[in-house]
Structures are given as C-alpha cells and as structure tokens.
Amino acid sequence: MDGADQLQAWRGAGAAIPCFPRLSLPAPSPLSRVGLIVNDGKALALATAATIEARLEAAGMEVVRVSSAGGVVGFANPDQHLRAKGYTACVPASFDASMPLALVLGGDGTVLSAARQTAPIGVPILTINTGHLGFLAEAYLKDLEGVLDQVIAGDWTVEERSMLVVSVMRGEQRRWEVLCLNEMALHREPLTSMCHFEIAIGRHAPVDIAADGVILSSPTGSTAYALSAGGPVITPDCPVLQLTPIAAHSLASRALVFSDREPVTVFPATPERLMMVVDGSAGCYVWPEDRVLVRRSEHPVRFVRLADHEFFQVLRNKLGWGLPHVAKPGNVQELS
C-alpha cells in the first residue's frame, strides 16, 4: 500500500491521522472543477484572478471563485457572550471535498485564511503570491503562465502540514474555537503588569511561567511570531508543537518543543483579562475563569507543490538564513 492509499484508509476508517513523514501525494486527474480564493481587497489579486479564470475556463474547467474574507474569523467583542460556530463554518458553501485543488491569490495572511477555508474538507491549495514577503507562497506572478500549464496538466504533488485547534473553555462550555496554521498567542493588555500562566502539556506535570505572554505554535508557525520571540526554527515535517514565552521573567524560561500528540491547556493565573490572538487575524479576550485548549487538528492543510519544496532554501531566500557574513569567491555571483 503506497502513502496515498494508506492515508485514504486512515481517513475512511475515521481514525486520527498518525504522525508520519511528509507525503507527496499525486495530483488527481482529470481536473474539471477547481477553486479560486482571492484577496478581493487587493487590485493586483483581482486582476490576476480574472486572468486565471479565463485561462482555466478555456481549458474546459469550472472555476469556483470565493473571497478569502470567508476565512477571517476576526476578534470577538469582549462585552458579548462568545458563541462558537465551530471551525467548519469557514468552509465556503460552494466548496466540497471533490475539488482537486484551489488556487489562492494574496499574501501570507490570505494563505492563513485560505487554510481555514479548505483544511476541514481536505482541498489542496496552490498559493500564488500577490503580497509582500510570500513566505508561504509556492508560485509568483512572473511564472503564472507556466504555473497554469502545470495545473492543467496535473503536474503537481501535495504536501501536508499540521494545523492546530484553539478552543476557549469556561467549565464545560466551549465559548470560542478556531483552526490555526501558525500560532496562538496569549498575552497581557497594554498598561497592565506581567502575567502568570499555568500550562499543562499532556500527561506531564504543569509548568508555571511568568511573562508578558506565551505562544503555542506549529512547525509552520515557528518562522512567524515564535521566531521573533526567540524560538527555534522547526522543519515542517516534524510532528511537534512549540511553547515560547514572551519576555519571560526568568532565565530558566525558554522555548520548549514537544510531541504534537500532547494536548495543551493554558490556565491564566492572573486577575486581569488577557488577549488571545490566533494567526494574527483572529482572537478574543480570555478571562481568569477561562482556559485555553490547544491540540493538533485532525485536518492538515494540504499545499500544492509544483517542484521539490526545499525548506532550507526558503529560509535562505526569505529570511537570509545561512548566508555567509563575508562573501567568498565561490558565491559572490550567487549573492549578487
């Protein structure tokens, strides 16, 4: 049984997907109905969407276009009771699991939204950067014609990356829940003092952290907020989570990497309300009587890959990782 058949067998049996090395799944064929997720607040993304629609429709495909705004959860009003719709509420009504892929036009924020829209139904996403950094982008506008040729020919594979489920609980009541690709950050409000957190990781003894906040991130999120807070870079195929304190009041409080089979519970041990931000675009207030649960989702995000995805090369190109401090004769041309 190959990797794709094994993955399908696990899903068909309703079992949780176990940890395994990254799979390169073959593209389904033929393509007849594809999704298109667009950041419709950007003129460049809108213009590119029209080009893509015309090209794919000329090839006999039906293009189902939606806005990436559907994956933006937003921030809850602290004066209102939080009613959780569940993270499947972000899935567009016109999308279904039979779609072979969805193209995504925007920057990294758009990709985070698109992950919430597609992961619950297992639709792979092909990310085309029309934003700035494009750390999560697979393709760029200068290569658009060739990208569309590969899409039409089915010349692509799929890489799966883990996502997190973040829930706010009060007693047995689930007050808020969201699907998360990068990280959950729980921190103090402005003009308030340092916070205390009691954190239980799976079966292990709870730990106490005094800090401005804490970050729980996936391997994908290790190059986002957690990196700025001093956490390590984790390759995307590692089955782990990362806990990173923000401005910890202890020399012993450092980032911790642990198995993603371990669910995490964060208890705010502070009298003031805290702010929780998920993937930089969703969140709510967390009160002293609440607790935050974070676990690996059974729904991974599925990224379309047009070529072999070399993570260290992405780090080098986007973040300057591994570049020599002094150019050597053999790599002067490469760095220019």
Average confidence score pLDDT of the chain: 87
Distance CA 181, CA 297 (A): 10
State the pLDDT at residue 131. Answer: 84
pLDDT digits (tens, 9 = 90+) for 84-93: 567 888 999 9
Q: Taking residues 92-110, what's their average pLDDT?
A: 96
Query: Is the per-residue pLDDT at 68 higher than 50?
Result: yes
Query: Is the per-residue pLDDT at 16 higher than 60?
Result: no
pLDDT digits (tens, 9 = 90+) for 292-326: 999 999 999 999 999 887 899 889 888 888 887 66
Catalytic residue list: 108
Residue 54 sits at φ, ψ, to 5 deg, of: -60, -40
Dump the DSSP string for 107-146.
-HHHHHHHHHHHGGGT--EEEEE-SSS-TT-SEEGGGHHH
- For residue 265, give both structure tokens: 């519970």
Domains and CATH numbers, the chain: 21-162+299-319 (3.40.50.10330), 164-296 (2.60.200.30)
Q: Alpha carbon of 27 to those of 83, 136, 143, 154, 311: distances in Å?
A: 38, 20, 20, 6, 21
Neighbouring-strand partners of residue 128:
105, 139
Residue 119 sits at φ, ψ, to 5 deg, of: -60, -40
pLDDT digits (tens, 9 = 90+) for 148-171: 999 999 999 999 999 999 999 999
Q: 211 near 245, Cβ under 8 Å?
A: yes
Q: Alpha carbon of 231 to those of 152, 162, 212, 226: distances in Å?
A: 40, 18, 15, 5
| Whole-prediction pTM | 0.85
Higher pLDDT, 118 or 332: 118
